[in-house]
Amino acid sequence: MADMKKIIPAHSVTHLIHHPYQPPGEFDSPQPGVFKASTVYFPNVAAMRQREWKNKSGYTYGLHGTPTSYLLEERLCALEGGLQCVLVPSGLAALSTVALALLKTGDEVLLPDNAYGPNKALAEGELKSFGITHQFYDPLNAADLADRINDRTRLVWLEAPGSVSMEFPDLLALTRICKDNNVLCALDNTWGAGLAFKPFDLLGDGTLGVDISAHALTKYPSGGGDVLMGSVMTRDPALHLKIKLCHMRLGLGVAANDVEAVLRSLPSIGIRYKTQDETGRALAAWFQLQPQCAQVLHPAFPESPGHEHWRSLCEISGKTGLAAGLFSVMLSPQYAQSQVDAFCDHLKLFKIGYSWGGPVSLVVPYDIGAMRQAWPTHLKSGTLVRFSTGLETAADLIDDLQQSLLANLPLS
C-alpha cells in the first residue's frame, strides 16, 4: 500500500502535486519555520482515528494547532510562567473565550469598573442576553469586591492597571479574596506583558497566583502595530481543557503568518518594554512640571492612584520596577474639550489611534465621565488624554508635546 503511493503518475501536473522530494530535515536557523495548514495528513485511517489533538501530542487539523502555533504558545508560557496556552484571533477574543468557556445561564461575573471597555460591553451585551449577570467593583477597594461575591459568582476579572485611568489595584488582596471564596480569577495582563510581574506567582514563592492570564498579543508581543492576536494562559490542566474545548467549538484560529510575526518580535520584547517604559516615564515626568496638567496617571508616579500597589508588586528587591509605556494626563478643567482635541490634532510625532506597544507613539483623548459608573474620587477633574510611547527618542517626543501645548493650551 505504501509502495502504491510512490508510483510516478503519468501526468506532470499530478507528479508535481505528489512530488516525492523531501528537503533534508536538519535545517536550523534563528527563526522557526512557518507551517500553514487546514488539512493535516494521517498515514492511515487507524492513525486518523487515534490521533489526539488536545494535548499537543500530534496534529489533526489546522484549527487545532500547527508546529508554528504550538511553538508560540510554549514560548509565551515560558515568558509568563504559565503551563498551557491557547491562541485566539484578538485580545478581545481572549476575554470572550474565557467568559464563554466558564459562564452559563444563572452565573455572575465581576469586573473592575475601570476594565477594558469592550470587556464591559461583552458583559452588558451577549452575556446579559445569555442570562449571565455582572457587577462592576471598585478596583481600589478590595472590600467592595469581597462584598459583591455571592453564590452565583463564577468569575472575577482583574486588570492591573485599568487601561485608561491607570489605577493599580492591590492585586494580591483581590486574588486572595477570589481564592478564599473559591471563585476563579482571570487577569487581563496585556499591560504587564509577563514582564512587569509574574501573575501566576504574585509573591515570588509560588503560593499565590491568578487562575487565568489573558493577553492582547496585539500590543507588546507583536510590537509592530500590524498583528491582532490574543492568548489565554493557565496552570491547571482541567481549566485549560475547558478553555481549549470551548476554543475548538467556537472555531477560533490564528493565521500562521501572524504567529510568525509575533514569534519574530518576541525575542526583543524585554528591551522594547524597558525602552518604552523609560520613554513613558520621561514624558510623564515632563508633564508633571507643566501647569496645564492637573494629574499624571502612571503607576510608577506617587500621585497616581494605587501607586503603592504597583511598588509592592513590581519594584521587587529595590530595583526601579517595570511599567508599560502607557500613561494618561488629566488636563486642567479650564480647557474646553475642543482645545484638548486641538492639542492632540497638532502633535506631529504622536499619531491619533487606538492600541499601544508598537513603534509609533499614540495619543487618544477619553471621556472618563461616560466610561465610569461615577466620576472616580481619586481622579482630579479635567480632560483625560492617554499617551502610549513608541520607540522614538524621548527628547523629540517632549519637543512635540511642548510645541502643541504652547500653541493650543495657553496659560491664562
Q: For residue 111, list its beta bridge partners.
A: 136
For residue 251, the minimal CB distance to ligand PLP (Å) is 17
Cβ proximity to ligand PLP, 98 vs 409, nearer residue: 98
| Region class of 33: left (phi > 0), else alpha (psi between -120 and 50), else beta | beta
Taking CB under 6 A as the binding criterion, the range among 19-27, 89-97, 198-206, 395-403 that sits at the site for ligand PLP is 89-97
Angstrom distance (rounded) from CA 291 to CA 31: 49
Within 10 A of 126 (CB to CB), how many other CB atoms are there?
Answer: 13
| Residue 300 found at the interface with ligand PLP (CB under 6 A) | no
For residue 410, the minimal CB distance to ligand PLP (Å) is 33
Q: For residue 213, list its beta bridge partners.
A: 187, 233
Within 227-266, which residues bind ligand PLP (CB under 6 A)? 228, 230
Angstrom distance (rounded) from CA 200 to CA 82: 7
Within 350-389, which residues bind ligand PLP (CB under 6 A)? 355
**Residues 114-133: x/- map of binding to ligand PLP (CB under 6 A)?**
--x-----------------
| Residue 390 found at the interface with ligand PLP (CB under 6 A) | no
The b-or-e profile of 330-359 (16+ CB within 10 A means b, else e) is bbbeebeeeebeebbeebeebeeeeebbbe
| Residue 408 found at the interface with ligand PLP (CB under 6 A) | no
Among 84, 153, 218, 265, the residue binding ligand PLP under the rule CB under 6 A is 218
Q: For residue 106, list its beta bridge partners.
A: none
Cβ proximity to ligand PLP, 133 vs 355, nearer residue: 355
For residue 262, the minimal CB distance to ligand PLP (Å) is 12
Q: By rule CB under 6 A, what count of residues binds ligand PLP?
A: 13
| Chain center to CA of 351 | 21
| Residue 92 found at the interface with ligand PLP (CB under 6 A) | yes
Q: Specify the DSSP element, H or E, that contains 263.
A: helix 256-265
Angstrom distance (rounded) from CA 171 to CA 310: 9
Within 131-190, which residues bind ligand PLP (CB under 6 A)? 163, 188, 190
Cβ proximity to ligand PLP, 92 vs 379, nearer residue: 92
Angstrom distance (rounded) from CA 60 to CA 92: 26
The binding site for ligand PLP (CB under 6 A) comprises 90-92, 116, 163, 188, 190, 216, 218-219, 228, 230, 355
